[in-house]
Chains A and B, each alone.
Chain A
Amino acid sequence: MKLLLLPVLLPVVFALAALVTPAAWRRAREALSILAVAINLACAIALFKADAVFQMPWLGFGMEFKLRIYQFSGFILLAAAFFAACVCVYSLSFMREKPAHKQFYSYLLITLGLTSGAVLADNLILMLFFWEGLLLTLFGMIAIGNKSAFKTATKAFIIVGISDLCLMAGIGLTGYLAGTLNISQISLPITKLGGIAFILLMIGAIAKAGAMPFHSWIPDAANDAPLPFMAFLPASLEKLLGIYFLARISLDMFKLNPASSLSMLLMVIGCVTILLAVMMALIQKDYKRLLSYHAISQVGYMILGIGTCVPAGIIGGLFHMINHALYKSCLFLTGGSVEKQAGTTNLEKLGGLGLKMPVTFICFIIAAASISGVPPFNGFFSKELVYDGALERGVIFYLAALVGSFLTAASFLKLGHAAFLGKISSENNNVKESSWPMLAPMVTIAGVCVLFGLYNRLPLETLIQPVLGAEKLGGHVFYGMPSNVMLIVMTIVVLIAALINHVIGVKIGGSGLKAVDHIHYSPVLIGVYDRAEKRMFDPYDIGLKLAVAGSQALWRVDRAIDWVYDGLIVKVAHFSSLRLRQFQSGYYAVYVFWAILASVAAVIFLLKQ
């Protein structure tokens, strides 16, 4: 089925066309981009129910050019197309006066094409080809941000690039163990080598999704990169891709079971990511940076859910993936709306924008309620499923997830209060609502958040449950209200606690922004926070220091070998030539003596023969 090539090639071709347009042809470029995402969306919708394979000869050694669409990849393809369309429309207004207009649209479209390719690929090498190719546009899209953006771009490239090398090694190992690289034919047990292969593949997947410890470029990118990038990649596409692949490896390629220690590893990574990232999110004083830490924290729920290896958890993790892509991209888009209209995302300079920008505010409320898990929005249902799965595996995981929810809710109460409520500053008195190209995507996405919450049967029945298949579901259905009443009660208790905490915090601190200061400046945490803010825990910086230290040692090895050539050999040659020179004294008698000695030696040697 050749149509499968379209979502891969079409955006790339349009991107190249956009790249060669003269700088002044802004409208032509916008039209091209809109056309590309529209055709791509139409194509994704048309392919959604398809079940087909496209194959052509490629490289041999099991490296086949094979694209496959089936229920799961069709779902991710559609979601990616949807977010690309939203971000593209949004950028019409947001990117209008920005520099690097041309690069932005080209990179966006190439990203879309490569993502589609990675989703559709049914061969691990082909997938890696598209997957790792995303590094280039990741680098490019961050680098076109502000002046210091290239440092962040490099950081992102190095972190993701190194994890992609792990993925490459994992693919090599998987291919060796399975004897094939075709994803749909791989079915491996978790043995010792298989476990290593799984971990390497997992590193690639969770690093793409932005889990700890591969996260630290995301908050920096929030400061430096153009905002639509944040809504497009870290918020939606990378989550979709990373979690999609994580689900594929743990459900299809490897049969991960609850008894496995790898399941435990995933759950621990999930919980640690949830807690640490949300702790950092809590104290941020910048709209975008705060959101970026949540983009990390929420991945934890997805990994936890999939790591539980029980149906409720897996369904919850996957449902959370799509929900997160929705509400987080919506949140970033509201952030962009604020940035565009108020000129800043620094929460200290914001406040009281709710009345000036009512549509943005309403979208924010819906998305913030979703991420905090307030019923009946979509995030509530997916979190309940993850809780359900986590509780089945151990109370500790459930509690970690619950504490994460508390802190998430607290930080969004703070964010909403600081940005949209409270007193408006004099500079912001003339702020107006954004134009329709920015509002339309926000409203659309917020609408889907409500839909997926109120009518969660739709996404669960058509998108999520088929991923697991009827056999593993065992007749369960996961839509409708959560079955475990205790979980709902606990969630509501936590939400109310967050609200009370907020009210108390505002009383103590005096403003919405300072609502969590009593946590931030509490005795033990203050020291930890201080160090974290100074980047002392950044795995990237630590890793770089280690790499440089190791390289210094290796360099000394190299210098030592060089010394053998430039020092030792020269000295030895010099020394021996000096010694030999002493024999050349110029005295006739001495030479005769040597000649006789040599003759005697020669005679003895010959006689002995």
Chain B
Amino acid sequence: MTNQNLILSAVFIPLCLAFALPFIGKLRQNARNVFALLLALAAFACSTALLPAVLKGDIINVFKALQLGFNFSFIADPLAVFMAIVSSFISAVIILYSFGYISHYKNQNEYYLMVVLFLGAMMGLVFSANLIFLYIFWEITAITSWRLIGFFREKQHVLRADKAFMVTVFGALLMLVGFIRLGQEMGSYDLFVIKDAISIHPVSNVTIALILAGIFSKSATLPFQTWLPDAGVAPSPVTALLHAAVLVKIGVYVFARIFVATIPLTQFWHAAVPMAAGISALVAAGAALVETDLKRIIAYSTISQIGFIFLGLSMGSELGFAGGLLYILMHGLAKAGLFLCAGIVEQNTRTKDITKLGGLITAMPVTAISFLFCAFSVMGIPPFGGFFAKYMVIAATLGGRHFIIAAIFIIGAFLTILYLFRAFNMVFLGQVKTSAPGEKEPVMVFSVALLAVLSLAGGIFIRYPNEIAQLSCAGLPGIFK
């Protein structure tokens, strides 16, 4: 396959074949499950196959001119490939986990359709080099996540799903206005063209603010954050997919794509974005220390950690950008692991309230250890992967002489240790309050153990992801030191 075809397959295999899943499901449940996993693995394989060419320094482009400037344009550069590999891999693990988790519930056909469709849209978004297509894929993810959050159909769940949908779509519409303004200012929606035109036309601050509103709403950053913890009512693999691995990373990725790889931000935004991220990181970390619902704690933790990613990406330095990308990888692995562990706990004890849990380490040793490993990675303890990402982001902030912002994030990192330990201790250690039959479903336990081991391996073999992350920095206009 040529590299162009690899990009197209990575996007359209999951995006189109997802619709076959309900039909397969009518015939054979197992076949549908395996096929869904295969679609995710296909996306992963295609993205990985792009790696050799990209590592050589090639930038692969698929371009077809269409009417009204809606040019069909895909691009595979190190940044896109890195993101595609991370999100398709984590999605595959989450689908594997779903084999066990979702098998007790109704509407499985819809579930697998939505998850794979979501992944396809995500891949499309990652490779898009045209703002309009980017927006279309963006909204597909919004629709699928709306269905997935309200999957259990209870009244409150549906309301929460509506909330998530409305907040993110409200942001997306603002972003669309921003895109249109950007298109008019630059004369094109193609990121290539905009990148070249930027030296002539500076972008207005209103446009930037509109686009940032969309990004922040998708990535659940203050003041658009509260839909994310509320969406914790979704099935656990969905929360892992949405809150940890993929959905919230969309905003972060588009930030990198537009504001680092295409339009360099001005000095004002280099101070404003980290400050917003810092406040978001701090507020969410504080909330995580107060909450008593396990999934809400982890969701707040996600909001907080997203702040670190924004910080790294917005520093305008190679160290920060590479650190931010590594953060996306390490946080994706570890946070997905945490949510999936929470799913195992929830399914076996029928509660998410940490004040009613305790002492589960004897009944669920593998889950407990996996939770601890993933927590260590999120805290940034070596040799887990999160350590390097956290250091690089903080060091880049100090290197950029943003000392107050660095201090805010250090406090956020303190709180990270506190709330994750609080959650771990209350769920897995101490007195047994709600007895659990055991870990049951081996496929679920395997998935979390895999993510935990990868969090560890990510730190020990940090050289390899780091190489791609560093390569992604090369030649980006938003990186000036």
A residues in contact (CB < 8 Å) with B: 57-61, 125, 128-130, 132-133, 135-136, 150-151, 154, 157-158, 161-162, 165-166, 168-169, 171-173, 175-176, 544, 547-548, 550-555, 557-558, 561-562, 564-566
Q: Which residues on A sit within 8 Å (CB–CB) of B425?
A: 150-151, 154
State the CA gap A129–B414 with chains docked (Å): 18
**What is the number of residues of chain B that contact chain A, defined by CB distance less than 8 Å?**
53
B462 within 8 A of A: yes
State the CA gap A562–B322 with chains docked (Å): 33
B46 within 8 A of A: no
State the CA gap A58–B286 with chains docked (Å): 36
Cβ-closest chain A residue relative to B421: A154
Q: A133-B382, A565-B226 are in contact. List 8 more A-B contacts (CB 8 A).
A: A60-B466, A136-B381, A172-B398, A173-B398, A548-B289, A553-B286, A555-B291, A565-B163
Q: Which of B289, B291, B387, B406 contacts A129 (CB 8 A)?
A: B387
Task: Report if A551-B226 is in contact (Cβ < 8 Å); known contacts: A59-B462, A61-B322, A150-B429.
Answer: no
State the CA gap A99–B395 with chains docked (Å): 42
State the CA gap A130–B387 with chains docked (Å): 11
Q: Which residues on B sit within 8 Å (CB–CB) of A551?
A: 285-290, 415
What are 8 of the A-B contact pairs (CB < 8 Å)?
A: A61-B392, A162-B417, A169-B406, A172-B394, A544-B418, A547-B415, A554-B285, A554-B286
B470 within 8 A of A: yes
Q: Which residues on B sit within 8 Å (CB–CB) of A58?
A: 463
B129 CB → nearest A CB, Å: 28
B130 CB → nearest A CB, Å: 32
Task: Report if A161-B381 is in contact (Cβ < 8 Å); known contacts: A60-B470, A175-B395, A561-B226.
Answer: yes
B327 CB → nearest A CB, Å: 14
Q: Which residues on B sit within 8 Å (CB–CB) of A172?
A: 391, 394-395, 397-399, 406
In contact, A558 and B319 (Cβ under 8 angstroms): no
Q: Which residues on B sit within 8 Å (CB–CB) of A564?
A: 223
Q: Which residues on B sit within 8 Å (CB–CB) of A158?
A: 417-418, 421
Q: Which residues on B sit within 8 Å (CB–CB) of A566?
A: 163, 226
Please, what's the 1-or-0 string for B399-428, where 1 marks a CB less than 8 Å from any CB in chain A?
A: 100000010001001110110010001000
Q: Which 10 A-B pairs have the closest CB atoms?
A: A554-B286, A172-B395, A551-B286, A551-B289, A562-B226, A555-B290, A172-B398, A558-B287, A129-B382, A555-B287
B127 within 8 A of A: no
In contact, A132 and B387 (Cβ under 8 angstroms): yes
Q: Which residues on A sit within 8 Å (CB–CB) of B288?
A: 551
Q: Which of A157, A169, A552 contacts B410 (CB 8 A)?
A: A169
Q: Which residues on A sit within 8 Å (CB–CB) of B463?
A: 57-59
How many pairs, one residue from A and one from B, have CB atoms within 8 Å of each other in the complex? Answer: 125
A134 CB → nearest B CB, Å: 9
Q: Which residues on A sit within 8 Å (CB–CB) of B223?
A: 561, 564
Give chain B interface residues in 215-244, CB to chain A under 8 Å. Answer: 222-223, 225-227, 230
In contact, A135 and B381 (Cβ under 8 angstroms): yes
B390 within 8 A of A: yes
B318 within 8 A of A: yes
State the CA gap A554–B394 with chains docked (Å): 22
Q: Which residues on B sit within 8 Å (CB–CB) of A130?
A: 382
In contact, B395 and A558 (Cβ under 8 angstroms): no
A577 CB → nearest B CB, Å: 15
In contact, B287 and A554 (Cβ under 8 angstroms): yes
In contact, B286 and A165 (Cβ under 8 angstroms): no
In contact, A557 and B283 (Cβ under 8 angstroms): yes
Give chain B interface residues in 254-302, CB to chain A under 8 Å. Answer: 282-291, 300
Task: Report if A558-B289 is in contact (Cβ < 8 Å); known contacts: A59-B466, A129-B383, A135-B381.
Answer: no
Please, what's the 1-or-0 string for B133-165, where 1 marks a CB less than 8 Å from any CB in chain A?
A: 000000000000000000000000000000100
State the CA gap A130–B382 with chains docked (Å): 7
